[in-house]
């Protein structure tokens, strides 16, 4: 009985918070769109708009990525990663870790730059 009452009260509190947070926005959607468009294009002080350019880095760099999964063949690089390397000038050294060995890998404090879970 206590668990049901707790669940019901938490659900009501969550609903009330969601309704209050939506109602607290004083601006209309049109004002939000115009203000976000102004921030993208720059303000009146003459700041220019950011336009990304490729390659991202001038000299080729290498980062370490870990794939968490089973039965994945990383001996041959995937076409999408090859194209991204050509465009961005960033090479990814992949390492495959199983889900079971992930805890040991994380405990070693030799962490990669990013994780990719399949």
112 with 65: CB under 8 angstroms?
A: yes
Identify whether 49 is part of a domain: no
Position 45 scores a pLDDT of 64
Q: Please indicate, yes or no, whether residues 80 and 108 belong to a single structural domain of this protein.
A: yes
Identify whether 54 is part of a domain: no
Position 103 scores a pLDDT of 92
Q: Please indicate, yes or no, whether residues 25 and 67 belong to a single structural domain of this protein.
A: no
Each residue's pLDDT expressed in tens, for the chain with a length of 118 residues? 778 787 887 777 777 777 876 665 555 555 555 554 555 545 556 778 888 788 888 899 999 999 998 888 888 888 998 999 999 999 999 999 999 999 999 999 889 999 998 7
Q: Please indicate, yes or no, whether residues 35 and 66 belong to a single structural domain of this protein.
A: no
pTM of the model: 0.52
Domain that holds residue 8: 2-41
Q: Please indicate, yes or no, whether residues 26 and 71 belong to a single structural domain of this protein.
A: no
Identify whether 55 is part of a domain: no
Q: Please indicate, yes or no, whether residues 65 and 26 belong to a single structural domain of this protein.
A: no
Q: Please indicate, yes or no, whether residues 35 and 67 belong to a single structural domain of this protein.
A: no
Q: Please indicate, yes or no, whether residues 110 and 65 belong to a single structural domain of this protein.
A: yes
What is the rounded distance in angstroms from the CA atom of residue 118 to the CA atom of residue 74?
12
Number of helical H runs and strand E runs in the chain: 4, 3
Identify whether 8 is part of a domain: yes
Number of independent structural domains in the chain: 2
Q: Please indicate, yes or no, whether residues 71 and 110 belong to a single structural domain of this protein.
A: yes
What is the rounded distance in angstroms from the CA atom of residue 107 to the CA atom of residue 85?
30
């Amino acid at each position: 009985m206590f668990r049901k009452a707790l669940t019901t009260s938490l659900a009501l509190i969550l609903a009330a918070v969601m309704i209050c947070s939506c109602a607290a926005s004083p601006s209309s959607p049109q004002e939000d769109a115009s203000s976000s468009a102004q921030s993208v294009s720059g303000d009146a002080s003459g700041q220019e708009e950011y336009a990304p350019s490729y390659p991202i880095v001038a000299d080729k760099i290498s980062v370490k990525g870990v794939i968490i999964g089973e039965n994945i063949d990383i001996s041959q690089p995937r076409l999408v990663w090859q194209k991204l390397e050509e465009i961005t000038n960033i090479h990814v050294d992949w390492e495959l870790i199983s889900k079971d060995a992930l805890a040991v890998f994380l405990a070693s404090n030799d962490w990669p730059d990013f994780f990719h879970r399949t």
